[in-house]
């Protein structure tokens, strides 16, 4: 038995699941990983939270693009307390390379800009592989209208990249089941509630169009984004179009120097919006940036929207 026992250990070791390599689709690219990344960087609060919910903090060397615009709540602070913020806003190529990173989780207008200094192509020569946020792919090519599957897809792909596919699959299945159970209890009207997403801007509003996550969230809560036919992700429209489409609820995205209260006050005190249904009836709902962009908080945020849409 003494000579046989080490053989059993060897067999058990050989039978343990190992990372066999994987290829994932990232926007218009196929990206192959021979081994899970060991020195990852994520950009923005929602992408960082995707990494955290998968238990990947120990595979990270830092994060970027949060404190320059947003604040971390208690839940997020606890998750990243052992990690440095390498750049308050978008990172430079030198920041990423200087951190000896081997992976960058970002998106177009989520840490990267088309034609900018930091792109998958500019990082590749330095051994840094990039996975792009699915919602953002519209900036570099065609994609389907946004859906909750965009967020699920990112979690599943991260699971494959880091060798935690079972955990990612369980999370996604849980989110889907939670949303389905909630939908079964939701009493929606035959005509969806008209909703406008107000992100920022007074001269012209920055809002969510056909390809931005709030469109999918609003629809899951029984509403319709009045700019859902706007063939953009996050972009600027004009106030005349908002007034003409007469939203019944205004969905405020809270972040940055202008508070949600200030955005609401701007709309309530501006005579141009006096006849807008949502303003007349004081129907505003506030979601934090991390709730309104693709990430683990989307499911609870849909519940929050539904409670505001259907208070009775």
**Rounded CA gap, 115 and 273, in Å?**
38
Q: What is the pLDDT of residues 124-151, one digit of tens each?
A: 999 999 999 999 999 999 999 999 999 9
More confident: 12 or 192? 192
Task: Please give the pLDDT value at position 78.
Answer: 87
- Where do the structural domains in the chain lie, given as residue ranges? 17-174, 188-309
More confident: 16 or 197? 197
Task: Please give the pLDDT value at position 3.
Answer: 46
Question: What's the whole-number average pLDDT of the chain?
Answer: 93
Percent of the chain's residues with pLDDT above 70? 95
Task: Please give the pLDDT value at position 13.
Answer: 47
E-only strand ranges, 73-169: 85-87, 103-108, 111-112, 129-132
Count Cβ neighbours within 10 Å for each residue of 214-246 and write b for 16 or more, e otherwise: bbbbbbbbbbbbbbbebebbbbebebeebbeee
User: Which spans in the chain are helix H?
Assistant: 5-15, 45-53, 74-80, 93-98, 120-123, 148-162, 165-185, 213-220, 239-245, 260-269, 277-280, 289-292, 298-309
Q: What is the pLDDT of residues 150-173, one digit of tens each?
A: 999 999 999 999 999 999 999 999
Percent of the chain's residues with pLDDT above 90? 87
The answer to whether 66 and 130 have CB atoms below 8 angstroms apart is no
The reply to whether 17-174 and 188-309 are identical in fold is: yes
pLDDT for 10 beyond 70: no
Task: Give burial (CB, 10 Å; 0-12/13-18/19+) of 16.
Answer: exposed
For 207: left if phi > 0, alpha if psi spans -120 to 50, otherwise beta; the answer is: beta
Task: Please give the pLDDT value at position 2.
Answer: 44
Give, in words, the CATH class of 188-309.
alpha beta
Fold of 17-174: Rossmann fold (3.40.50)
**Rounded CA gap, 165 and 97, in Å?**
27
Task: Confirm whether pTM is higher than 0.95.
Answer: no
Task: Please give the pLDDT value at position 75.
Answer: 82
């Amino acid at each position: 038995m003494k000579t046989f026992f080490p053989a059993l250990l060897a067999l058990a070791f050989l039978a343990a699941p190992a990372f066999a390599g994987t290829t994932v689709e990232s926007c218009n690219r196929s990206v192959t990983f021979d081994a899970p990344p060991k020195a990852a960087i994520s950009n923005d609060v929602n992408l960082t939270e995707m990494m955290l919910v998968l238990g990947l903090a120990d595979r990270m060397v830092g994060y970027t693009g949060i404190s320059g615009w947003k604040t971390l709540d208690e839940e997020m602070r606890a998750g990243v307390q052992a990690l440095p913020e390498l750049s308050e806003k978008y990172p430079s190529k030198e920041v990423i390379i200087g951190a000896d990173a081997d992976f960058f989780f970002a998106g177009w207008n989520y840490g990267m800009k088309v034609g900018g200094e930091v792109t998958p192509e500019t990082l590749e020569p330095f051994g840094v592989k990039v996975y792009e946020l699915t919602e953002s792919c519209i900036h570099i090519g065609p994609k389907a209208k946004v859906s909750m599957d965009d967020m699920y897809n990112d979690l599943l792909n991260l699971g494959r990249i880091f060798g935690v596919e079972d955990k990612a699959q369980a999370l996604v299945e849980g989110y889907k089941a939670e949303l389905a159970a909630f939908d079964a209890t939701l009493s929606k009207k035959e005509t969806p509630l008209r909703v406008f997403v107000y992100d920022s801007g007074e001269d012209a509003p920055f809002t969510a169009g056909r390809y931005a996550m709030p469109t999918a969230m609003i629809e899951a809560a029984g509403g319709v984004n009045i700019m859902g036919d706007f063939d953009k992700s996050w972009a600027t429209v004009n106030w005349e179009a908002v007034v003409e489409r007469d939203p019944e609820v205004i969905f405020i995205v809270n972040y940055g120097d202008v508070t949600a209260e200030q955005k609401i006050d701007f709309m309530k005190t501006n005579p141009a919006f006096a006849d807008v249904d949502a303003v007349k009836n004081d129907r505003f709902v506030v979601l934090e940036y991390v709730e309104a962009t693709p990430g683990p908080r989307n499911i609870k945020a849909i519940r929050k929207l539904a409670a505001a849409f259907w208070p009775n």
